[in-house]
Amino acid sequence: MSTKHTAGEWKARCVEEARTADGNLYRKWTVDPNVADIFYETEQGEANARLIAASPDLLEAAKLAYKEIDERYDVDQPAGEPSREIPFEGAGVLLEKLRAAIAKTETGQIAGER
């Protein structure tokens, strides 16, 4: 599977801790391999770094789930064409959300927008 993003396993790690002038704890997080630096005074910085680090895995899982559901059940079959049984209520909505998330990572656009 070809991608444009930095290949390899991404990992979040805290690379600096210090106190601000008002006494708040400041942390600098980085996502290796040299993907992003996150500066934050709260736990939100760590959460953001971990989410960024998980992004390649989440994208791969989204693509696999989309492909499996679409191929197995033809949920988004064109109107008028026979389709297989829908696997669960809301499968079409799930596929649309997966499609939109994948498009956002690959093109920066939500699926269907120009």
Question: Taking residues 1-5, what's their average pLDDT?
Answer: 63
Evaluate whether residue 4 is within a structural domain. no
Report residue 1's pLDDT band, with 50, 70 and 90 as the boundaries: very low
pLDDT digits (tens, 9 = 90+) for 28-42: 888 888 788 888 777
**Range of the structural domain that residue 76 is part of:** 11-107
What is the DSSP-derived secondary structure letter of residue 108? S
Evaluate whether residue 5 is within a structural domain. no
CA 33 to chain centre: 17
Q: Which residues share a beta bridge with 25?
A: 19
Evaluate whether residue 2 is within a structural domain. no
Residue with tokens 């993907």: 35
Evaluate whether residue 35 is within a structural domain. yes
Mean pLDDT of the chain: 79
Evaluate whether residue 21 is within a structural domain. yes
Domains held by the chain: number: 1
Evaluate whether residue 112 is within a structural domain. no
Q: How is the beta sheet containing 11-19 ordered, strand by strand?
A: 11-19, 25-32, 36-40
Evaluate whether residue 114 is within a structural domain. no
pLDDT digits (tens, 9 = 90+) for 52-83: 889 889 999 999 998 888 877 765 555 556 55
